[in-house]
Amino acid sequence: MDSSEIGSALGSFTTPDIADALDVLGYPEQTAFGITRLWDDCPSIAGRVMPIKLEPDADGSTVTGTLEAIDAADPGDVLLFDNDGRLEQNTFGGIAGLCADRAGLEGAISDGASRDIDDLRSQNVPLYARGPVTTSVKDRTGVVGYDIPVECAGVGVEPGDYVVADGSGVIFVPGEVVETVLEIAPTFLEQEREIKRRIAEGEDPIAVHEDLEYEDFEGRVGLDE
């Protein structure tokens, strides 16, 4: 599968499904805590990341650097801004959103704040960030580089990694295990559906969980054999 196909496949699962799969594989700390969708009906995101590193004392233009990163990204990718959690200036706004959408990108994740939220919503460009802001990034923050290793809410992210974001949160999938995650995530999705079905039909919830060995993550995917 190419990166766009992998992103689409990841998008068929929820972030809790992905988190359970990563737990089994020994990657328990891939969630970007504190980063969330900035409007209620913001679409979910899944795709390969295009990381962009920002710093207050960096010389590169944030505007130019962002547009270059969009140009370098492939359709289906997700922009990821590492602004070290700063809330006092914008990282991704309406113009960048329009350019990202025209380039076929899935949306943006920001470890920082963003503005033009109403524009992004009307453009249907998904955005997950720490919060909204009114202040421009101009003369406040510069670009260190893009397509380089970054951090997002304490999670190390490399070029070639993937991200899934929905109403439950934002989680990163290392590129070296993404295909394995896609192999085992269906187990968690299907078992969740089975538990809900049986409870809805009147079975005892505790008995259902015990019968399906809900707490035995490794056993559920056959990794304890």
Count of H-run helices and E-run strands, the chain: 8, 12
Those residues with Cβ within 8 angstroms of residue 41's Cβ, 6 or more apart along the chain or in another chain: none
Q: Could you tell me if 188 and 20 are in contact, meaning their C-beta atoms sit under 8 angstroms apart? A: yes
What is the reported pLDDT for 113?
97
Report the C-alpha gap between 148 and 160 in whole angstroms.
10
Those residues with Cβ within 8 angstroms of residue 3's Cβ, 6 or more apart along the chain or in another chain: 47, 48, 74, 76, 77
What is the reported pLDDT for 210?
84
What is the reported pLDDT for 187?
86
What is the reported pLDDT for 223?
55
What is the reported pLDDT for 208?
85
Q: Which two tokens stand for residue 65?
A: 């650097």
Report the C-alpha gap between 194 and 171 in whole angstroms.
24
Longest dimension (CA), the chain: 63
What is the reported pLDDT for 209?
86
The DSSP symbol for 31 reads B
Q: Which two tokens stand for residue 19?
A: 């988190």
Helices of type H across 34-111: 62-72, 94-102
| 3-state DSSP assignment of residue 42 | coil
What is the reported pLDDT for 144?
96
Those residues with Cβ within 8 angstroms of residue 134's Cβ, 6 or more apart along the chain or in another chain: 115
> What percent of the chain lies above the pLDDT cut of 70?
96
Cβ-in-10-Å burial (0-12, 13-18, 19+) of 24 comes to buried
Please identify every stretch of the chain with a pLDDT value under 50, giving residue numbers as ranges: 225
**If we measure between CA atoms, which residue out of 154, 181, 166, 173 comes closest to residue 49?**
173
pLDDT tens digits, residue range 108-164?
A: 999 999 999 999 999 999 999 999 999 998 889 999 999 999 999 999 999 999 999
- Give the 3-state secondary structure of 95-154: HHHHHHHHCCCCEEEEEEEECCHHHHHHHCCCEEECEECCCCCCCCCEEEEECCCEEECC
Containing H/E element for 3? helix 3-10
What is the reported pLDDT for 221?
58
